[in-house]
Amino acid sequence: MFGIKGRLTLLFVVIVTLVLGVSGTYAQYSLGHELEVSSQRLRQGVLTRLQTSLPSALWDLDKAKVDNIVAAEMMPPELVSIRVYDTSVGLFSGKLRNENGTISSIENDAAVAGTPVVADLAYRDSGAAGAALKPVIVGRVVVNFSRAQIDATLAAEVRRKVTEVLLLDLILVAALAWSLRIVFDPLKQLRDGLFDLATRGSDEVEELPDNRQDELGEVIRGFNAIQRKIKSNIQRIREAEDEARKSAQATAKAMDDLRRTQESLLQAERLASLGGLVAGVAHEINTPVGIALTSASVLMEATEKVQASVEGGNIKKSDITRYLETAAESTRLIMNNAYRAAHLIHSFKQIAVDQVSEARRRFELRDYINEVVSSLQPKLKKTRITVSIACPPDIMLDSYPGALAQVITNLTLNCVDHAFGPEDEGRIIIGVAQQGDWIEMQVTDNGKGIPPDMLDKVFDPFVTTRRGQGGTGLGLNIVFNLIAKQFGGSITVSSVLGQGASFVLRMPCVTPVDDIALHADSRLHA
């Protein structure tokens, strides 16, 4: 592709060539027209003179005079030949211009080059009284004109014009090449400067010389000013990038610390939940174990008395009857309370093992929810809140029971802590419905409800309405992460202030393996 300089030169050359071509064509046309008019006048003049001078000489049959007249008219180079014919004799006289320019007589009526023009020769004789008589045709003259002179003149003019155009184009190209250097040399410097600025870096590029005192000098000085400003901006950007990089590193470190802290808090929340469960179960077991121990002591004392009576030989029927009654009552109390303690220990053992091991297994949902709620009875007994379970039997899950226990525990205790006051009566309903390969669990309470400004933030970490009263704001965040990340499900919340709240959980009956593989070690990560 041509550069701007080449295109400008080509444009000027084309324009000048077109202008000179148009003007030359017009001049050529004018010259041809003039030559044609001059040739026409020449023809007309030659014929007029010949028609004037030849008739009388031809009438007198004066051949010498005719030859002189014809020779005199052959002077213009446009005439090729002049032939004079007599009406009776035929060719009377004639002259021919040879190729070398000499003039010779025509001896026979051979073909002659050129354009022939024929004119009659009429002789007018005056009578005795001087009256003009009717003209008499005494012969004719044939004049051959040549266009070679006109063509040669036009060709010479064309060559002159072409030479003139070429010379002017050469001069124009040379003048443009010299004059455009004034503009394009500084532009080339600017281009090289921009290229260096774009490729080599601002620290390596030198400023352009700005000693010119014209408009281009102003442009170069402006470019140098821009270059200095760009250098300054680049330096500030580099400093800002360094600061941003340091800030990013600090932020990443802070995020790592925050993540570790959050993991620690989440783990502490889990352990606190498990610790509360242990404390509640221990307190709950204390009563049946104490009753069983007391009953066993009473039975042992009664047995020792009967044994002493037997050894002394003074045993009575009434002693045996009283002993049997005491033994029966003590045995009943021991069995009932031992069974109660065993049931509590079994429920606690299953829930605690599930929460600690994170093992996956198949389990029946309704029985497991009952076990989880039973493990919460030590805390629920201190309130006036009842928990109802509405779950169809035989819903089997292939999932992580420990994580599900954590979800049910957190949702239930969240209702206990936030939905009701210390002395309020309330009800919590855990409802389950199976929908194909999915289950929908709804935990609903009839408590205070959630304020509208908190509804969109209940699952965010560290959001709580009991700050400073034991609330960490992590319970529902743990629930959200377990449902979304470990179970591959979803959880939503709805509430009307003063009319309670409802948490709706949807999860598959068979927890996806891929999700578990991704979160096997990070179940509680935010």
pLDDT tens for the chain, 526 residues long, are: 457 767 777 888 888 888 888 888 888 888 888 888 888 888 889 889 888 888 888 888 888 898 899 888 888 888 888 888 888 778 888 888 888 888 888 877 777 777 888 888 888 776 544 555 678 888 899 998 888 888 888 888 888 888 988 888 888 888 877 877 777 777 777 777 777 766 765 555 567 676 666 666 777 777 777 777 877 887 888 889 988 999 899 888 888 887 787 666 656 655 665 565 565 556 567 777 888 888 888 888 888 888 888 888 788 888 788 888 888 888 888 887 787 677 667 655 555 555 555 678 899 999 999 988 888 887 888 888 999 999 999 899 999 888 888 899 889 988 888 888 888 899 999 999 999 999 999 999 999 998 888 888 888 876 676 654 545 567 788 888 889 888 999 999 999 988 899 999 999 999 987 544 444 444 434 3
**C-alpha–C-alpha distance, residues 54 and 112, integer Å:** 21
Q: pLDDT at position 349, please?
A: 57
Q: pLDDT at position 282, please?
A: 64
Helix (H, G, I), strand (E, B) or coil at 232: helix
The pair phi, psi for residue 360, each rounded to 5°, is -100, 135
**What tokens does 125 get?**
């004789």
Q: pLDDT at position 1, please?
A: 47
Burial label, 414 (beta-carbon count in 10 A; 0-12, 13-18, 19+): buried
**The dihedral sign for the CA sequence 13, 17, 20, 23:** negative
How many helices (H) and strands (E) would you count in the chain? Answer: 11, 12
Q: Which residue has the tokens 């009377």?
A: 92
Q: pLDDT at position 519, please?
A: 46
Could you tell me which residues are beta bridge partners of residue 103? Answer: 97
User: Taking the model in full, what pTM does it have?
Assistant: 0.42
Q: pLDDT at position 525, please?
A: 40
Q: pLDDT at position 440, please?
A: 95
Strands 438-445, 501-508: pairing is antiparallel
Q: pLDDT at position 456, please?
A: 85
**C-alpha–C-alpha distance, residues 74 and 105, integer Å:** 11
Q: Going by C-beta distance under 8 Å and a sequence separation of 6 or more, which residues neighbour residue 363?
A: 396, 397, 399, 401
Q: pLDDT at position 515, please?
A: 45
Q: pLDDT at position 358, please?
A: 62
